[in-house]
Structure formats: C-alpha cells, structure tokens
Chains A and B, each alone.
Chain A
Amino acid sequence: MLTPTHPPTLQRLVEASSFRSISKATPFWFGNLAHLYLEIRLNLDELEGAESARKAEQAHDYIRNAAEVCHAVSTYLGGQVLEIHGRTIHIGLEYTSPAEIGDRMKEASGLIHVLLERTYRSGGPDGWRIAGDHAPTLTVTSEGIHQDTSLVSLSPAANFPAKQLARKQVPRWTAGLNINQKWGVHTLEELATAYRCRQRVQELATGGRSLVQLVEAANAETINFSSSKAIRQVSAQAAPLGNPSAESLFSCYGFVLSMDLDGFTKRVERAAVGSMEDKRKLAEDFLDIMRWAAAFAERHPDTFIQFPFAGDNAIFAVTAETLEDYKTRKKLSPVKTALEWEETMGDRARAAGYGGWGQSLAGGGSPHGNSKGNLHVAGILLGGRRFLVGIGPGMRHARQGFTHVDPSPKELAMFRADIADLHERLRKEFYDCPTPLSDRSANYKKAELSGMKKALAEVEAEQRRAVQSVSQPKIVLPSAAVVTHRPYGGAH
C-alpha cells in the first residue's frame, strides 16, 4: 500500500459563512444552491476526443469562452463556477427561498444563451444545452497536487442535471429545469425573450464592453494572473504542467483513470435530511477522501496529472515521457495503477460509508507518431481559481465508461482499443458486458479487480523469471578468457 509521508489528518471543519466565501480555512458550506450545467456540443471525434494539438486548442478555446460566460453570469447573479469537466460547466447559484429560484435559473439560462451567441457569433461549437435543479447542498473544497482547487457539491440536485444530460432528456438549444420538483424543458430563445436578456446584456455592455469584460473588470483584484504564473510543480509526482492555456497547451502521452465513488448519492441523500452534524461528518469524510486521493498521486512512482473532482469522480492521468515509453507502459501500468488505487483507497471509501470505487480506464488507442501527445491540458483562470481541463481520447473514453457499462465497486471498465495493448494474461480477465442500449458493449469490456490482481501477480512472476534467465554477466570466450558483460550507460 502506498502511504503518504504526511498522511492527511481528520480535523473538525469550520463552515464558511456563504457559498462564495468557501476557502481553504473554511472548506465547506451547507445551504440552498441551484445547479446549472451548461454543455456545449463539440464534434466528439473531432474536438472532444481530439488527438492533435491543433484540434485540442480549438476545443479548449470553445470551452474557455463558455466558462467565461458562465463565470460572468454566475458572478452577476451571486454564484460561482463549481466545476469544468470537458465540455460541461457546472455553476452554483445561492438562493434564499424556493419561490425565487425558478426565475433565477431561467434568467441565468437566458443570459448564458445570449452571451454565448455574442461570444461565438457565427463560429463556435455546434450548439449548447442547459440542465438545472436546486436543493439544499453541501459544498466542500480541496486542493489537488497542482494546487488547483476542486469545489464539489454534494446533493442529489447536483447530480440530477448531469444525469438528465447523459440520458439525453435535454435537446440542443433548450434548458431542462427541475423547479420545485417539476421537470420542464424550455427553449433558450424563449427564456432569453421572457427575461429580456438581450436588452439587459445591451444595457450592461455599454461602450462595446461585453458582460464578460464587465465582470472580469469587477473581479480584477481577485483574478491574480501574475500569481497564477507561479503555480508550480508541488510534488515530485505531479506532472510539470507550468501554466498551460488554450494557446499553449500542456501536451503529453498518458492514460486516464476515472474512479467513481459507489453509494455517494445515497449517502448524500441521508445527510441532506439529517442533522447539521451529519452534514459536517459527510463534509469531513469526503474532504478526507479528496486529500487521500491527492496523497495517492503524490506518492505514486509515476507522474500524474490530477484533474478536479467531478462530484464523486476522481480523475487522474498517468503520463509518459515519450510515445515509446507510453506504449511500453500500456502493457501493465494501467491495470497496476487501478489495483493500487483500490488497495489504497478502497477501504477508506468503505470506512466512510461508501460502497467502494468503480473504475474506468482509457488511453484512447495508439496515438499517431507525429502527434505531440494524446492528452492536452489547459488551465482556465476564473475568479482567482485555475480549472484544469483535459482534452483527448483518454478523457473522453474514460468518462464514457461509466455511462456505457457502469462498473461496480471492484470492477474495472476499459476501452477495447486499450485492452488490446495489455499483456496477454491481463487481457484474458476482461469479459463482454451490456450497455443500457445493447447486450454487448462494442467499446468497453469489464474485469473484476480480484481476478486482475491474480493475473498481475502471475505476470510479475514471469517477469522475475525472465530477468533471472538473462542476468548472467559472464561470457566465456573461445580462448577460455572470461569477460564480464556489462553494457555501458552511454555518453549522455
């Protein structure tokens, strides 16, 4: 088991006074929160799963624009951006009474729509849609290995919009909103008209300034770009990301591990109707899991990129220096890392009242030799926070593993193209599995981690035998002289 040198310690947490004042010192807050998810439509193969750096730059550019719009609208309406995961941006709006929130969610949707239209004009993504819900929510914050902050909201209402988007319950150009337990779908145009969003944007954007610029100007003190440049490599195992942006991506080779906490929704539902102590305990337990997750990445011998938590979903990329290194690592490393995660984090999750972790893993097949990498990372700076966003086939396929085949705790779902690159013995452990739409997934297979552990032990034993078989250092020459065979490290 990988044990951090400085294990995270449980401490009694201090609650923040409001949603927007959540900080390192006051890392949780409980109160009424509306959740809006904006999903922009990227041509999946071309952009979201982009292998080439150029296409990834375009995808990042679209996402950054959408994030800035969400930041502007949420700041204007007293909220903030919670998460950015690929093409989806999650914002939270604090409210006092259920009577007011319906109008605010509709107003926010209309404003986002109008501002996106103004931002992208005739270019941009193929469309967008919004889903929303509201309920009392527990929000916790924690720092990852790159000093980026995850802001995770724990509430059934925080998950519901994402699920509705995944279930395709929200068509393009509409907002699906669950207002006071009533689900309704509204066209974004209607909302923009009903809430006079165009006029309001026009009034605010005097002198040719967009609402984004206005809100950015108001936030100038909190957005400290110079300090963000100092964001550095904080641990030996954090990939040296520097300060990547949509214009200068951090590109590398790597595979992506996505780990989903089982029983999260149930635990959150219980806490939501429980006492304040129950909520504090939930925050403490979850924060502890987030810290242990960062510690796992920090202590692991491989170099990791840690993406912000997506709700109960921990996402890491294990990187390789070169394409050749990546191809070699794909034989065992993905499975090894998945097993190490289960070994280190499985019991912690179960001790905190969750069912364990389901895992999904993808690298996205073999990248082309001339690509800069198969994973392209950019940081988006909003209101003093940096959001790390990854683009590439691994990000896309690892996330889709959960919607396609939903691995249970102690199960690993893996993208078929990546299974083909595994060691033969490990490949044998995978079996076909159904999706919600078919009896057999064409893209994924699953494996039990217990079986995988046994298979890996067999491969490692085979490795040891092979190493011994070719470790003899002596060569007897025809003249009976004996030389020691010892290759040189090279002049580098």
Chain B
Amino acid sequence: MLFRRAVEDRLLIRDGGSRRNPRIIGSIDHAGGRAEVMITQHSNPLVSSPWVNCRAPWIRRSVDWHYMNFGRKDPRTQFCWVLDLEWREHFRKRIDAGEPAAILCEDAAHWMVEAMRLVLSRHWHGWELGIEEWPPEWEDYSHGDAGVNEYLERRCRAA
C-alpha cells in the first residue's frame, strides 16, 4: 500500500489498482510529452523491482533498447529499467539499517518513476530523431550475466 500510494503521488493515475489487482496505470511526463505506463508491483516491491510496460508506438521493442518483448499480452513484456540485483541489494541494506518502510517506499517509487522518465525520454528521442543504436553516452549494463558481473565489479570498486 505504501509503495502504491507513493507511486500514485508521482503519476497521473488512471487506474490505481487494488489489493487483488496490483497493476497501476498512469502517465509519466517525458521529453516528448506524456506516456501511459502500466506498473505491476510484486508482493514486496522493495525485494523485486516492479514491472513497467508502455504501449506507445514509438517504444523501441528491442532488448538493445532495454525492452524485453515476449508479446503484447505477456505480462513479462517490460522495460529492463533497473538491474534487479542492484535494486534488491540497495533496499536490503537500508532495511537492515532499520530505515522506516515509508521512506524506503517513497525512494523506491521515486527511483522507478525517474528512471522510467529517462528511459521513455530516450526511447522518444530515439524515435523522433532516428537514433538507431542505443548511444554509448547512455550508460547501461550489458545483457545477461555480463551485466550482473559489471554491477558486482562496480560495487566492489565502490566498497
């Protein structure tokens, strides 16, 4: 509930979902206007990052543009807007440090909405300006295990 409310505060909500239907439908402002997104939260959004999808026609439905396409109706079709391990470890550390759930949910909602705003803006620019490849200036993790290793290496260096 805390996470859903925090998300609702940040989006123009069309359908706030419910306990039985965890899907939230709302709009995010991005560089080219406003886009409707569907957010599917898991039972504990601080452990598993929510799934986010958008059906705007300019979305580049390719893994190189951080979009996992299993088909229009498949709930797994979503943006890879964050590395799940990074999300989980970030909040695990803060839960262990005793931070209040309300603050963590505010942070989680903010992180998700801002990350999605950037991803949507990038997709929109890509479409509008004919940017064919994901530019190197837009830092990202590699595909599969390589991406996880990059995160772990980065974490080790920071420690």
Chain A residues near B142 (CB-CB < 8 A): 489
Partner of A488, one of B125, B126, B141: B141
Docked CA distance A477–B6 (Å):
13
Docked CA distance A471–B141 (Å):
14
By beta carbon, the residue of chain A nearest B142 is: A489
B149 to chain A, nearest CB (A): 12
- A325 interface residue (CB < 8 Å to B): yes
| Chain B: number of interface residues, binned into ranges | 35 or more
Docked CA distance A485–B80 (Å):
11
Docked CA distance A470–B60 (Å):
16
- A328 interface residue (CB < 8 Å to B): yes
Docked CA distance A468–B125 (Å):
11
Chain B residues near A473 (CB-CB < 8 A): 139
Using an 8 Å CB-CB cutoff, how does the interface string of B50-84 with A read, 1 for contact, 0 for none? 00000000001111101110000000000111111
Docked CA distance A467–B129 (Å):
10
Chain A residues near B147 (CB-CB < 8 A): 488-489
- A466 interface residue (CB < 8 Å to B): yes
- CB contacts between A and B, total, < 8 Å: 128
Using an 8 Å CB-CB cutoff, how does the interface string of A454-492 with B read, 1 for contact, 0 for none? 000001001100111111110101110101111111111
Chain A residues near B63 (CB-CB < 8 A): 489-490, 492
Chain B residues near A278 (CB-CB < 8 A): none
Partner of A479, one of B83, B106, B132: B106
Interface size on A, residues (CB 8 A): 35
Docked CA distance A486–B147 (Å):
10
- B88 interface residue (CB < 8 Å to A): no
Whether A487 contacts B119 by the Cβ 8 Å rule is yes
- B137 interface residue (CB < 8 Å to A): yes
Partner of B141, one of A470, A472, A481, A487: A487
Partner of A470, one of B67, B80, B125: B125
Contacts of A329-356 to chain B: CB distance below 8 A: 329, 331-333
- A190 interface residue (CB < 8 Å to B): no
Partner of A477, one of B66, B111, B127: B111
Chain B residues near A486 (CB-CB < 8 A): 82-83, 86, 139-141
- B40 interface residue (CB < 8 Å to A): no
Chain A residues near B141 (CB-CB < 8 A): 486-489
Using an 8 Å CB-CB cutoff, how does the interface string of A214-258 with B read, 1 for contact, 0 for none? 000000000000000000000000000000000000000000000
Partner of A478, one of B68, B110, B121: B110
Chain B residues near A332 (CB-CB < 8 A): 130, 132
B139 to chain A, nearest CB (A): 5
Contacts of B115-148 to chain A: CB distance below 8 A: 115, 118-119, 121-122, 125-132, 135, 137-144, 146-147
Given contacts A471-B138, A479-B107, contact A487 B31 (CB under 8 A): no
- A324 interface residue (CB < 8 Å to B): yes
Whether B66 contacts A470 by the Cβ 8 Å rule is no
Whether A488 contacts B110 by the Cβ 8 Å rule is no
- B114 interface residue (CB < 8 Å to A): yes
Given contacts A324-B60, A488-B84, A488-B147, contact A470 B111 (CB under 8 A): no
Chain B residues near A488 (CB-CB < 8 A): 66, 80-84, 140-141, 147
Given contacts A467-B125, A475-B115, A492-B144, contact A487 B81 (CB under 8 A): yes
Docked CA distance A422–B7 (Å):
38
Given contacts A483-B111, A485-B115, contact A469 B81 (CB under 8 A): no
- B95 interface residue (CB < 8 Å to A): no
Whether B31 contacts A490 by the Cβ 8 Å rule is no
Chain A residues near B67 (CB-CB < 8 A): 490
Given contacts A331-B129, A487-B79, A489-B140, contact A478 B107 (CB under 8 A): yes
Docked CA distance A259–B139 (Å):
39
Chain B residues near A467 (CB-CB < 8 A): 125, 131, 135, 137-138
- B90 interface residue (CB < 8 Å to A): yes
A residues touching B (Cβ–Cβ < 8 Å)?
Answer: 322, 324-325, 328-329, 331-333, 423, 459, 462-463, 466-473, 475, 477-479, 481, 483-492
A-B contact pairs, 15 of them (CB 8 A): A328-B60, A332-B132, A463-B130, A467-B135, A469-B125, A470-B31, A478-B103, A479-B99, A479-B107, A481-B94, A487-B119, A488-B81, A489-B66, A489-B80, A489-B141
B residues touching A (Cβ–Cβ < 8 Å)?
Answer: 31, 60-64, 66-68, 79-84, 86, 90, 94, 99, 103, 106-107, 110-111, 114-115, 118-119, 121-122, 125-132, 135, 137-144, 146-147
- Apart from A466-B125, A470-B118, A488-B81, list 17 A-B contacts with CB within 8 A: A328-B126, A329-B132, A332-B132, A423-B129, A466-B31, A467-B138, A471-B137, A471-B138, A472-B118, A473-B139, A475-B111, A484-B139, A485-B118, A487-B115, A487-B119, A488-B84, A490-B66
